Amino acid sequence: MNHAVDVKGLRKVFGRSTAVHHVDFQVKQGEIFGLLGPSGSGKTTIVKMLTGELSPTEGDVTVLGRSSERLGTSDFKTKIGILSDNSALYERLTVFDNLKLFCKLYDTPVHQIDVILRDMDLHEEGDKTVAKLSKGMKQRVLLAKALIHKPELVFLDEPTSALDPASMARIHRGLQKLNEAGTTIVLTTHNMEEATELCDRVAFLHQGEFQEIDSPAALRYAYSTHTFHVETFSGEQLVIENEPENAERMKQLIEDGRIKTMQTDHPTLGQIFLKVTGKELV
Amino acid sequence: MRIQRISAIFEKDLKDFMKNMMVALLPVTPVLMTLFFNQSGNGGLPVIMHYLIVGITFSVVTSGSIMTILAEENEKHTLRGLIQSPATLWDIIIGKSLVTGLVTVLSLAVSLFIVGIEPFLNFKIIMGIILLFLFFLLLGIGVGLFAKSVASTSAYLMIVMILFGFTPMITLLGIGEGSVIMNIIDMFPLMQVIEMHSAGTWAPLGVLTLWTAASGMFTFVCFQKVMTDD
Ligand SMILES: Nc1ncnc2c1ncn2[C@@H]1O[C@H](COP(=O)(O)OP(=O)(O)OP(=O)(O)O)[C@@H](O)[C@H]1O
Ligand SMILES: [Mg+2]
């Protein structure tokens, strides 16, 4: 199977500082792939090299079967959608006029605007001036702009940063629907819950290097300590290893009806990140 | 295809232009100055004043509006959206220039309606004026991309206006004829068009072409810088 994105030995140097050190990864077609990392770890720099906005200092980038020298063509640009970290709209124009411009630039029929506004829960907002929209609405319009031409592959650089939970949930639903329809998504975030909920696979980025790359569930399993945390009705906190020799003890606790709560120890992605890099996200 | 992208950018810019007070007032300024000159000249302005009006219009309206429009797109990061789209560099430049061109033509037409169009009814002069327009347009695009913020364009616009728009006024400052400064100023684009008018030779058209080419180079370099983030 062809990969949507294939990166080998990618490096980016700005002047004297190296923003991305030797990174390798693939994004499968139809996957939601998350780049996770704290501020300054190189997420935006990697995305820009995948969209053709920055040229790599070293390494091979293949996106939708095209090598990095061929990412500037109009043909490639119609196949991808981009929501940048600083994407913006024309504030004096209406939502509709903003989207109309991009419909024409991407050679998409104008009636597509109604469809996408409905998808993004924005059909009431079409005639409003962008300057009058809330932050969450603007972000959804930006997303609509990135998706209006039905790209095969979308790059979303922090699509939900600084949004309230309700707006975030709306965007997540939209992205899941989009992905179910077959669109490959590459997103960056510092929000671990978002990554756990949305991504099929995540890469942990720290100071321009990948530390881990796997599905959230696999990572959580790999970093779990394989123990049960049991709280009894008498207030005892027990830590019992998930080993055959403890089976009798567990059975006894259950039979005696002493267990109030019981949890397996699954760390969150945030805890794993801290463990791997020694650094908090955000 | 390409026409569709250019017209999309044109349509968007036209709407944006009319809703932007700061830019929408630019084409009115030269017309007001023309009215003022015409009033004080009580009938029949010297030919040099006709050219001064052209210089003012091209510097204020042409350079001024495209400079402000582009600096705003650059500052607010909307230009990045255009660059990420399938529109080419040329689609963007041409689409954006059309609105500025239209507004310049309207403003100049009103001014020339007030003072009379006779001095310009000559093929050579019209060629010269078209080149002069391109010079101001390209210079405005370059500065707009280079300036990076709307606030800083006003300073650059002042320089463009004083040097290239109001050039004939400098000659009236009483600097000695034949001095080095005067010789340099005589080479300036607007002075070359005036030279064409009085001497009737083709040579100034060549100098003007060089100015326009230099301005085009400047724009090209500025655009290359914006196209990539390196
Ligand atoms: N154009 C540039 N010129 C010089 N240095 C740059 C440039 N762009 C990014 N950098 C540097 O590269 C490093 C990685 O930056 P990048 O923007 O990729 O981080 P990020 O992970 O996206 O951070 P954030 O979460 O804050 O968006 C930073 O140290 C930054 O200062
Ligand atoms: Mg970033």
pLDDT tens figures, B52-108: 999 999 999 999 999 999 999 999 999 999 999 999 888 999 999 999 999 999 999
How far is it, in rounded angstroms, from Cα B44 to Cα B47? 9
How far is it, in rounded angstroms, from Cα B4 to Cα A104? 7
More confident residue, A259 or B176: A259
Average pLDDT, chain A: 89
Task: Please report the pLDDT score of residue B206 as a whole number.
Answer: 87
pLDDT tens figures, B78-87: 999 999 999 9
Asked if the Cβ–Cβ distance from B229 to A54 is below 8 Å, we say yes
Element (H, E) at A188: strand A184-189
3-state secondary structure of A5: strand
Q: What is the mean pLDDT of residues B141-157?
A: 91
Domains in chain B, number: 1
Domain encompassing residue B159: 2-229
Task: Please report the pLDDT score of residue A227 as a whole number.
Answer: 83
Q: Which residues contact A252 (CB under 8 A, 6 or more apart)?
A: none
Radius of gyration of the CA atoms of chain A, in A: 22
Q: In what order do the strands lie in the sheet with A32-36?
A: A80-83, A153-157, A184-189, A32-36, A201-206, A209-214
Quick one: pLDDT band at residue A184, thresholds 50, 70, 90? very high
User: Which of B8, B76, B80 has the CB atom closest to A105's CB atom?
Assistant: B8
The answer for A 98-137 residues in CB contact with B (under 8 A) is: 100-102, 104-107
3-state secondary structure of A210: strand
Ligand 1 center–CA A168 separation, angstroms: 24
Task: Please report the pLDDT score of residue B228 as a whole number.
Answer: 67
Nearest 10 degrees: CA dihedral of B195, B199, B202, B203? -60
pLDDT tens figures, A79-133: 999 999 889 999 999 999 999 999 999 999 999 999 999 888 888 999 999 999 9
Q: Which residues contact A37 (CB under 8 A, 6 or more apart)?
A: A43, A188, A190, A204, A205, A206, A281
Ligand 1 cavity residues, CB under 6 Å: A 14, 19, 37, 39-45, 85; B 229
Element (H, E) at A14: strand A3-14
pLDDT at B159 over 70: yes
Which of A10, A13, A14, A206 has most ligand 1 atoms within 8 Å of its beta carbon, as the pocket-test mutant? Answer: A14
Quick one: pLDDT band at residue A164, thresholds 50, 70, 90? confident
B143: left (phi over 0), alpha (psi -120 to 50) or beta: alpha
Domains of chain A: 3-216 (3.40.50.300), 225-265 (no CATH)
Angle between helices B123-147 and B89-115 (to 10 degrees): 130
Pairing of β A3-14 and β A17-28: antiparallel
How far is it, in rounded angstroms, from Cα A74 to Cα B85? 7
ipTM of the complex: 0.87
What's the pTM value of the predicted model, to 2 decimals? 0.87
